[in-house]
Amino acid sequence: MNFQNEKIVTTLTKIHPLDLSLTLDCGQSFRWAESDDGRWHAVVKNKSVFAEIQGDDLLIYGDDDEAFWRAYFDLDRDYNAICNNLSSDKWLNKAIEAYPGIRILKQEPWETLCSFIISQNNNIPRIKGIISRLCCLLGDDLGDGDFTFPSAEVIAQKSVEDLTPLRAGFRAKYIIDAAKKVTSGEVSFKKIASASMDEARAELQKISGVGPKVAECALLYGFGRVEAFPVDVWVRRIMQELYPEGLPEVTQGVEGVAQQYLFHWRRNVENPFEV
DNA sequence: AACCAGGCGCATA
DNA sequence: TATGCGCATGGT
């Protein structure tokens, strides 16, 4: 454990609702893990950081950039208002009541894009493994077993063979294509940040290996676009079972938030549809 | 249009 | 211990 972490603390107030476990371990992020002392640990901003809820506050150890963390945890979006509104729908109400406090993270765009390329046709334990090996192989060593997420510039110089140790399978060539296009500016994060949803989707899908699902995940979890709506096998199931006519109108503009609650609920509740 | 690619976690047997 | 299933995208 790094003692420097204990000296640098950001205290974030007015955080409710926020459940760290649900938010950090619900499939939107792959690098946070619960440490022995019950805090959550990850490498973010190329620093080893710890997070915990203390009373009504969220404490970040290891970094003092308050504005960054407010954005990262989406603390200035009024989730009480959003969830109250979504709760007018019967099923969303059940989902939100079952797992309150899930928030959409705004993670670093490159890490998010690369992670969701790796996530395709894959399960969470293995996604975490591949990402962990990627950071270990090409990231900077921070000590204590922590590595930064390798930059697009570093990955762009690698070959598919170089990535063999990741055991990423056919995704290796996609990772490299993404790194090259991001590094060259052919795919511009700056452009995506200010573009319309459709333009942003198209920009991301210039990358080989980025289809609708991966693009939507990158926009939702890496660019703060809460109107993005990733449809994976679970969400497709939910749509068929509950919303064959499409999402209810209350989700307009916050489809991604609705998706996250429905996804978690459908995966974790035993009998979701019993009254 | 159906199939496979590179694996591997997981459930079931 | 073995067997089948699921998993997003691109290419055949």
Nucleotide nearest to A210 (CA to C1'): C9
Domains A3-76 and A109-222 share a fold: no
What is the topology classification, in CATH, of domain A3-76?
A: TATA-Binding Protein (3.30.310)
Nucleotide nearest to A212 (CA to C1'): C8
Within 7 Å: CB of A170 and strand B?
A: yes
Distance CA A41, CA A273 (A): 35
- Indicate if the pLDDT at residue A1 is higher than 70: no
* Radius of gyration for the alpha carbons in chain A, expressed in angstroms and rounded: 19
- Residue ranges of domains in chain A: 3-76, 109-222
Model confidence pLDDT, tens digit, residues A47-85: 999 999 999 999 999 999 999 999 999 999 999 999 999
Q: Answer for the pair A180, A156: CB distance below 8 angstroms, yes or no.
A: yes
Model confidence pLDDT, tens digit, residues A6-24: 789 999 999 999 999 999 9
The amino acid present at A15, given as its one-letter code, is I
- What is the pTM (predicted TM-score) of this model? 0.96
Superfamily of domain A109-222: Hypothetical protein; domain 2 (1.10.340.30)
A106 catalytic per annotation = no
What are the structure tokens assigned to A76, written together? 């200035």
